[in-house]
Every structure is written in structure tokens, then in C-alpha cells.
Amino acid sequence: MGILSASTSQMDNCIDACVKCARACEECLTACLQEPDVQARIMCIQTLNDCAEICLQAVAYMARNSQFAKQHCQLCADICDACAMHCEKFQDAHCQECAKICRQCAEACRNMAS
């Protein structure tokens, strides 16, 4: 079942997108913790944490050609979309940039999952 059918370039693209997204989420989470309205960002911060973790897990699943990689990438896409939605609620640059990167990662993961 694995992902051997997916092209190497498609997998490389998805891995790169996941690494970029995990980094953006970690950076955004750190910045959100410094914002004066941190209490209003709790759901965003929790979702950033989930997103960063699942992106790194997705990289591992793809790298080892796990039989569950496609399902994992689909879940990763869903969490990236949720994270983008939370980040889009805040107007600061780090949240807006993170949302954009999350959307790009979600697209790469959906391509990988299909």
C-alpha cells in the first residue's frame, strides 16, 4: 500500500513543505507566547503545536515509506488547514506568514495522500 507509487519529486516536495511548516509553526508558537493577547491565542498555540508535530511525523512516515504514510499525510493536511484557520484570525506578520505556509503544506500533503 505504501507510497512507492508516488513520484520521488512529489514526496520530496511534500517532505520539504512539512519541514518548512513545522519550522514556521514552532517560530509562530514562540512569537504568539510573547504577544500581549496570549490568552486569546490558546487554541492557536495548541494547534500550532499539533501541526508542527504531525508535520515532522509525516516526514518520518514518508522517509521510511510507511504503509500508513498516505493516511498520515491526509491527517497532516487537515491539521495544517486547521492551523492556518487559527493563524488567519490574528493580524500580526508571524501568524499571517505561518497561515500561508500551512496552506502550502496542506496542499502538498493532499497531493501525497491522493
Q: Where are the alpha helices (DSSP H) in the chain?
A: 8-33, 42-63, 69-87, 93-113
Task: Give this prediction's pTM.
Answer: 0.92
Q: So what's the pLDDT on residue 3? A: 47
Counting Cα atoms < 13 Å in the Cβ hemisphere of 80 gives: 31
Query: Does residue 2 belong to any structural domain of this protein?
Result: no
Query: Does residue 78 belong to any structural domain of this protein?
Result: yes
Distance of CA 10 to the CA centre of its chain: 16
**Residues contacting 15, CB < 8 A, separation 6+:** 58, 59, 62, 63
Over the stretch 96-114, which tens digit does the pLDDT of each residue have?
A: 999 999 999 999 999 999 9
CATH number of the domain residue 21 falls in = 1.20.1270.360
Which residue has 509553526 as its cell numbers?
25
Query: Does residue 1 belong to any structural domain of this protein?
Result: no
Over the stretch 37-62, which tens digit does the pLDDT of each residue have?
A: 999 999 999 999 999 999 999 999 99
Query: Does residue 29 belong to any structural domain of this protein?
Result: yes
